[in-house]
Chain A
Amino acid sequence: MPRVAVKPEVCIGCHLCEVWCVVAHSRSKNIIKAFLHETPRPVPRVVVEENLPFTLPVHCRHCTEPSCVEACISGALYRDPLTGRVEHDAGRCVGCYSCVMACPYGAVVIDEVNRKVARCDLCKEMGEPACVKQCPNRALVYQDSFTS
């Protein structure tokens, strides 16, 4: 599965990936409008950990056997066995936070205002993840297919 990988040694901790993630998931797709006028504002789906001088962005890994899908009680998180894609249908999410309990990376983010969760969807409607495109130091890499 495609995913965003990280080069932590060149991450400068600017949190712009979080900012652009919010913009990419806003209604307007405009940084000013998204931050000043949209309520509720979308939550960033990337978590940038800080333990200065170290910083580490963490995204959904789009696991082959996702623990979040195992735990999801509503069917909102779903891995299609025919396509391999892991999808999150926010409309079905009831905010039970079972996926928060299950995700080994802490990559499912709580959206408290809407009592739902959010996770990286690789900006699938935009071609390339916004965080990767906007990272000023190229610490984020979009891997189309992952092999290890």
Chain B
Amino acid sequence: MERFDYLIIGNSVGAVGCIETLRSFDKGSSIAVIGEEPHHVYSRALLPYYLDNEVSVEKMLYRPVDFYERLGVTPVLGRRAVGLDTAGHVVKLDDGRTISYGKLLLATGGRPIVPPIPGLDTEKENICNFVALQDLQRISRLLPSARRVVVLGGGIIGLMAAEALHKKGLEVGVVELAPRVLAPVVDEFTSRLIEEAFRRSGVAIYTGTTFKEVQGGERATGVVLTDGTSLPCDLLVVAVGVVPRVDLARQAGLAVNRGILVNQQMETSAAGVYACGDCAEVYDFLMGNRRVLPLWPNAYAGGRVAAYNMLGMKREYDRATSMNAMHFFDLNIITAGLNTAGEKDGFEVISRFDAGSRSYRRFVLKDDRIHGFTLVTGIARAGIFLHLMRRGCAVTSFKEKLLEEEFGYLTIPEGLRRELLIDEGVMNEHAAANQ
């Protein structure tokens, strides 16, 4: 039986975060990564950017082609892990092979949700998900014969897909069950700005409704919405999110809620078995609880923290929360933290909208700290706010300044500024002492 010191199930960003951290400290141990798809590690987040007729995995590679070789990683691709024995430290593959490990990382990601709606079946030739390269290839093949598309889901992926398809010349309709797009991520005002950007560009947005049924046989020909509206289509994209892939973990007896439960060291209920990314429930430092945060940076950072602990270097993941950088047509948006909470939930909300530039800034504050922020259009240097949020910095004394586009370190009172910049080595320490 093959044996690896470190074994990773899943071949996306969480795996890469883990591998790169392991190799930063340990050049000698053996590492293997199991990937269900036969491809070199590629970025799913790039799907909307490469919606064209000749898409290939080469364009979407997340790391150079020599990545595995250079970092001494054995790729086991096109194979699925079907069994896990945590007591015996053995993983079983779908071809019957078994691999034993020293430490294991589960980075199995998420599975696209397909709501139980009559006629909605991704086995049909023109109904597609939008999470994997094969979905993109399917859509690309359908594009030349498609004229009208309906996208189910007004979240980030659904909206990005809608924009990309619109730019391909298709007539696009987006159907969202919530009363507004991106309802779990942004406040109502931002939702309206986004809806307006889509409508202005000619994309129809239907909110507060969903499919009653999908019409057609082997090929969907249209959808009927719950309000009776009929939308003919020759392509249907289902983008209502993902659920954690936990089958393997559950079958192995690991503690699983919605996602695989991990402690702050990213270790599951089984010793030596870690989990990160879309399959796991991680600690959200703002909410103070565990939840599934299926976001790219959290997967990478979770893989990194897991790697430290796999190496025996104790580290806690205390930086996770909701965060998104998005763009739709001419709107650039960056958000992090709690943005749907408002005054009625005990938060203070400050905001400013400039109708001329369509710049919008909104901050959610509580206990002297930033709990969430949304920047629309003027997104430069947004990371400073995430930094203030992660560090739990007191902001009340300069809160009005948060709304200014020129906000920067010089806007922050000197004491705090020195703490933030000198600690991190931005300012010359000797000079700072003389200041």
A65 to chain B: closest residue by CB: B304
Of A21-29, A66-74, A122-130, the one with at least 4 CB within 8 A of chain B: A66-74
- Residue numbers in B under 8 Å from A47 (CB-CB): 381, 408
Which residues of B99-152 are within 8 A (CB) of A?
none
- Residue numbers in A under 8 Å from B336 (CB-CB): 101
Interface assignment of B426: CB less than 8 Å from any CB of chain A: yes
A122: min CB distance to chain B, Å: 15
B57: min CB distance to chain A, Å: 13
Given the known inter-chain contacts A9-B435, A70-B17, A141-B428, please indicate yes or no for A105 contacting B384, CB distance below 8 A. Answer: yes
- Could you tell me if B325 and A50 are in contact, using CB atoms closer than 8 angstroms? no
Which residues of A1-36 are within 8 A (CB) of B?
3, 5-10
Of residues A75, A100, A103, which shows the largest number of chain B Cβ atoms within 10 Å of its Cβ? A75
Interface assignment of A79: CB less than 8 Å from any CB of chain B: yes
- Residue numbers in A under 8 Å from B28 (CB-CB): none
- Could you tell me if B46 and A56 are in contact, using CB atoms closer than 8 angstroms? no
Interface assignment of A38: CB less than 8 Å from any CB of chain B: no
Instruction: Report Cα–Cα, A102/B21, bound state, in Å.
Output: 19
- Could you tell me if B70 and A82 are in contact, using CB atoms closer than 8 angstroms? yes
Given the known inter-chain contacts A97-B334, A101-B383, please indicate yes or no for A70 contacting B300, CB distance below 8 A. Answer: yes
Q: Per-residue 0/1 for B277-305: is the Cβ within 8 Å of any A Cβ (1 yes, 0 no)?
A: 00000000000000000001100110010
Interface assignment of B409: CB less than 8 Å from any CB of chain A: yes
Q: Pick the contact of A81: B20, B387, B425, B432 (CB < 8 A).
A: B20
B27: min CB distance to chain A, Å: 8
Interface assignment of B429: CB less than 8 Å from any CB of chain A: yes
- Could you tell me if B46 and A73 are in contact, using CB atoms closer than 8 angstroms? yes
A94 to chain B: closest residue by CB: B49
Instruction: Report Cα–Cα, A71/B325, bound state, in Å.
Output: 9
B44 to chain A: closest residue by CB: A73
- Could you tell me if B17 and A97 are in contact, using CB atoms closer than 8 angstroms? no
- Could you tell me if A73 and B381 are in contact, using CB atoms closer than 8 angstroms? no
Instruction: Report Cα–Cα, A85/B301, bound state, in Å.
Output: 18
Given the known inter-chain contacts A7-B428, A73-B45, A96-B325, please indicate yes or no for A101 contacting B20, CB distance below 8 A. Answer: no
Instruction: Report Cα–Cα, A8/B427, bound state, in Å.
Output: 7
- Could you tell me if A97 and B332 are in contact, using CB atoms closer than 8 angstroms? yes
Interface assignment of A136: CB less than 8 Å from any CB of chain B: no
- Could you tell me if B380 and A6 are in contact, using CB atoms closer than 8 angstroms? no
Of residues B49, B300, B426, B429, which shows the largest number of chain A Cβ atoms within 10 Å of its Cβ? B426
- Could you tell me if B425 and A146 are in contact, using CB atoms closer than 8 angstroms? yes
- Could you tell me if A82 and B383 are in contact, using CB atoms closer than 8 angstroms? no
- Could you tell me if B327 and A96 are in contact, using CB atoms closer than 8 angstroms? yes
Consensus secondary structure, chain A interface? mixed
Which residues of A98-148 are within 8 A (CB) of B?
98-106, 108-110, 141, 146, 148
- Could you tell me if B304 and A70 are in contact, using CB atoms closer than 8 angstroms? yes
A2: min CB distance to chain B, Å: 12
- Could you tell me if B304 and A58 are in contact, using CB atoms closer than 8 angstroms? no
- Residue numbers in B under 8 Å from A69 (CB-CB): 300
- Could you tell me if A7 and B425 are in contact, using CB atoms closer than 8 angstroms? no
- Residue numbers in B under 8 Å from A73 (CB-CB): 43, 45-46, 296
- Could you tell me if A102 and B297 are in contact, using CB atoms closer than 8 angstroms? yes
- Residue numbers in A under 8 Å from B425 (CB-CB): 3, 5, 61, 146, 148
- Could you tell me if A5 and B383 are in contact, using CB atoms closer than 8 angstroms? no
- Residue numbers in B under 8 Å from A106 (CB-CB): 380-384, 408-409
Of residues A6, A9, A70, A99, which shows the largest number of chain B Cβ atoms within 10 Å of its Cβ? A70
Q: Per-residue 0/1 for A30-66: is the Cβ within 8 Å of any B Cβ (1 yes, 0 no)?
A: 0000000000000000010111001110100100010
- Could you tell me if B21 and A81 are in contact, using CB atoms closer than 8 angstroms? yes
- Could you tell me if A104 and B424 are in contact, using CB atoms closer than 8 angstroms? yes
* Shortest Cβ-Cβ A-B pairs, 3 listed: A106-B381, A7-B431, A104-B387
Q: Show 22 A/B contacts (Cβ-Cβ < 8 Å), sorted by A.
A: A8-B432, A47-B381, A49-B410, A54-B410, A58-B409, A65-B304, A70-B300, A71-B297, A71-B325, A74-B49, A74-B62, A82-B70, A95-B327, A98-B297, A100-B381, A102-B297, A104-B383, A105-B387, A106-B380, A106-B381, A109-B380, A110-B379
Known contacts A5-B427, A73-B46, A101-B324; can you find 10 more A-B pairs with CB under 8 A?
A6-B428, A7-B428, A49-B409, A70-B297, A82-B27, A100-B383, A103-B381, A104-B420, A141-B428, A146-B425
